[in-house]
Amino acid sequence: MLRSHFGIPHIATGDMLRAEIAAGTPLGQKAQPILAAGHYVSDEIMIAMIAKRLSQPDSRRGFIIDGFPRTIPQAEALDGLMDELGRHFDRVLYLKVDLEELLRRLSGRLVCPVCQRTYPPGTAVCTADGSGLVQREDDKAEAVKPRIEVYLQKTIPVLDHYRGGGLVSEIDGMGTIDDISRQVMAAVTTSPASPLAGEVRPRSGRGGGAQSAKSA
């Protein structure tokens, strides 16, 4: 949604990692067992991946980062990177969902292996390209609980890192996709900073990863 509204790239670190895994790259081979266990890939790998992505020309007008930073060291590294690039964030969106709901949504979720769109349980095929849907490795029940624990311990503190700058907008992630979309648009369009230079969305409200409001 944000991507099409502002015409800026949606940089989803989870999708980037899964693409590496699917392509069987060295990074992918390293990341695969870590994600399957519900853990976080190391800060170094994540930071290097983001740095490379932000250096691409399509991010010059702005970007949405989804799924990063998930830890304080990642947030600090990202601050340094943004300084180097002469950029700043306009908004940090925190999608708040209660834990039971989070568990329910994550463990029932299906994903299109081709375009990565996510769907609620019971959906058969992707509406965009007709592919059969699958469950992601890291959405399987055994990975979801550790993901949530890691999220509470490592990612929740990231919010305070950004709260200091008055950047955080809390979004109620319990409503419908439409409700969430409305709140997200209101938060980003009433941004105190002038032009949209980039947003970061720590994969908030939803466990160690996941996007409640699809920004597709």
To the nearest whole angstrom, how small is the minimum distance from the Cβ of residue 137 to Zn ion? 18
Percent helix, strand, coil in the chain, to 5, is: 50, 10, 40
- The residue written with tokens 């419908």 in the block is 176
The residues, ordered by sequence, that sit 6+ positions from 168 with a Cβ below 8 Å of its Cβ are 92, 93, 94, 159, 162
Among residues 110 and 150, whose Cβ is nearest to Zn ion? 110
To the nearest whole angstrom, how small is the minimum distance from the Cβ of residue 182 to Zn ion? 25
Q: One symbol per residue from 124 to 143: x for binding Zn ion (CB under 5 A), - otherwise; what is it?
A: --x-xx-x------------
To the nearest whole angstrom, how small is the minimum distance from the Cβ of residue 125 to Zn ion? 8
Are the beta carbons of 107 and 101 closer than 8 angstroms? Answer: no
To the nearest whole angstrom, how small is the minimum distance from the Cβ of residue 116 to Zn ion? 7
Among residues 128 and 156, whose Cβ is nearest to Zn ion? 128
Among residues 37 and 115, whose Cβ is nearest to Zn ion? 115
Among residues 70 and 109, whose Cβ is nearest to Zn ion? 109
Q: Reply yes or no: is the peptide bond before residue 120 cis, omega within 30 of 0.
A: no
The residues, ordered by sequence, that sit 6+ positions from 210 with a Cβ below 8 Å of its Cβ are 14, 102, 105, 106, 109, 203
Q: How many whole angstroms separate alpha carbon 60 and alpha carbon 36?
A: 33
To the nearest whole angstrom, how small is the minimum distance from the Cβ of residue 115 to Zn ion? 3
Residues 45-104 that bind Zn ion (CB under 5 A): none
Q: One symbol per residue from 97 to 116: x for binding Zn ion (CB under 5 A), - otherwise; what is it?
A: ---------------x-xx-
Among residues 49 and 133, whose Cβ is nearest to Zn ion? 133
Amino acid at 178: D
Instruction: Name the residues that contact Zn ion, by CB under 5 A.
Output: 112, 114-115, 126, 128-129, 131
